Structure 1
Amino acid sequence: MIDHQSQMAFATASHDMTLVRNNVAGLAKSAKTFNVPTILSTVAADTFSGQIFPEIKEVFPDQEIIDRTSMNAWDDQKVIDAVNKAGKKKLVVAGLWTEVCVVMPVLDALEDGYEVYVVTDASGGVTTEAHDMAIERMIQAGATPITWMQYLLELQRDWANQETYDAVMAIAKEHGGAYGLGVQYAEEMFGAKEGK
C-alpha cells in the first residue's frame, strides 16, 4: 500500500476520495484477514505528505511504515528488503497517485520478474485520464488490474471456508456497498448466510 496520505488525497480527482478511503480500508482488512504479508509505505510523511490514512493504521497498528524520499518505492532498499522478506512472487499494489507512485514500482517489479496485480479502485490519480493511462500502461507491461472486492472474494474462494467466512462477510457488509447491504438484508430477513 503506497502513499495513501492526506496530501496525495487532496489532489486525487480520478475517484471520489470517500470511496477510495472505503476501498483502501476494505483492501487492508482483506489482506489482514488472509494473513497476506503487507508492506506500508509513505513518501515524505513528516515534511510534506502527512501520515498514512487512519483506516490503514487501524488495521495494521503495529506495522512499520517505510517512509521514503523517492517517488518510486522500488528505488528504496527498505521496500525491496520487505518484498524479499515476504518471499512472494505475486504483488498486489494500490496507491496514490496511480500515474507516479503506483506505475513506477509496478513497472520495475514486472521487469524484475514479479507477477503484479494493481487494485484500481484503491488507487487514484490527479485526473481520470492520468489514472486510466497509468493503468493502461501497466496492463501493456504485463500487470493485471483488479478491484478490492475481487481481491477479497478471490482470497475467500469458497464459501465453505469457515475459517475466514465471518470476517469476509463483516468486511463485505462494512465496505461492500450494495453487495454488503444485500448480505445484511439476507441475514436480517431470512437468517441466511451465503454458502451455509
Structure 2
Amino acid sequence: MAPLFTPADTAILLIDHQVGTIKLALSTPRDEIVRNTRALARTAVETGMPLVLTTSQEDRFQGPLLDDLLRIAPDAHAARVRRPGVVDCWLHAPFKDAVLATGRKNLVMAGLTNDVCIVYPAMSAIAEGFRVQVVADAGGSPTAAADRAALDRMAAAGVTITSTNQVMAELATDWASPTGGAIQRVMYEEILARLVAA
C-alpha cells in the first residue's frame, strides 16, 4: 500500500467553488458541498497545510468564490488564481506554478464541477507524477450520470476517489495527536455535530 497522505506532504486545492458553479452541481446537495468545502479549507488553515484556490471567469455566471472561503482562508482567497477561461486549470501556468510552489507531491482536490472542473486537472497532475485524491462529496455534477462518469474516468487514470471524512481521517492519522485533534474538531463542527444531535 502506498503511504498515506499527511499534512506534512500534502496540499489542498479547491477549484471553482463559486456562487454560480455550485448551482450546476445538482448531484450533491448544496449544503453538503458547502459543509465539506468548509471542512477541507479549515483543515488546511488549522494544520498549516498549503491551500490553493482558483476561479474561472468571476465576471460571468460563475461569479465569486463562496463567502465561506473568504472568511475561513482570507490569505488564500486574496492569492487565488483567477483564470480567464482555461477549463483544465493545470494548463493555466499561474495555477500550476502556485501548486508547484507548495513543494507537495500529494494533492487533495475538490471543486465544481466534478465532470468539468476537476476531472481534467486531476488527470493532468497524475500524468506528471503527482498523487491525487479527489474529494467527490465536496463537489458534484449536473446529473448523477455525469458525476459517475467523471469519477470513473478519474479512477481509471489513477486518481483516488475519496470523501471528506475519509481524507480528513487519513490526514489526522491519530485523533490524540495535536494535528489529529485539530482535524477532529473541524470534522465535528462542520460535519458530525448535526448528525450526533439528530
Question: Common fold, TM-score beyond 0.5?
Answer: yes
What one-letter code is carried by the residue in structure 1 that aligns with 2:82? D
Shift of 1:33: 1.9
The answer as to 2:103 corresponding to 1:95 is no
2:10 paired residue number: none
Aligned partner (choices 17, 21, 44) of residue 8 of structure 1: 21
Q: Is 1:146 matched with 2:162?
A: yes
Name which of structure 1's ranges 169-178 and 101-110 shifts more when overlaid on structure 2.
Answer: 169-178
Task: For residue 98 of structure 1, report the CA deviation from its aligned partner.
Answer: 0.6
What is residue 171 of structure 2 aligned with on the other side? 155
Q: Which has the larger radius of gyration?
A: 1
Match of 2:30 in 1: 17
1:2-59 Cα shifts (integer Å, max 9, x gaps) = 0001111112111111111111111111122221111100000123311111112211
Aligned twin of 1:50: 63
Of Structure 1 and Structure 2, the greater helix share is in 1
What are structure 2's unaligned runs of at least 5 residues? 1-13
The number of residues matched between the two structures is 182
Distance 1:181 1:16, change over 3 A: closer
Query: What SS does the corresponding residue of 1:92 show, helix, strand or coil?
Result: strand
| Paired residue type of 1:177 | L
The 5 A counterparts of 1:101-120 are 101-120=117-136
2:71 alignment partner, SS class: helix
Q: What residue number does 2:80 align with?
A: 65
Q: Which residue of 2 aligns with 1:34?
A: 47
Query: Which structure shows the higher strand fraction?
Result: 2
Residue 128 of structure 1 pairs with residue 144 of structure 2: yes
TM-score of the pair, normalised by structure 2: 0.86
TM-score for both structures, normalised by structure 1? 0.86
Paired letter, 2:189: E
Separation in structure 2 between the aligned mates of residue 163 and residue 181 of structure 1, nearest angstrom: 23
Q: 2:88, 2:121 within 8 Å by CA — same for their partners in 1?
A: yes
Specify the alignment match of 2:98 in structure 1.
Answer: 82
2:87 alignment partner AA: M
- Greater displacement, 99-108 / 147-156: 147-156
Letter in 2 for 1:171: V
Give the residue type in structure 2 aligned to 1:172: M
Moved over 2 A (4+): 167-170
Task: Report the CA distance between 1:164 and its aligned residue.
Answer: 5.0
Q: Which moved more, 1:136-145 or 1:152-161?
A: 152-161
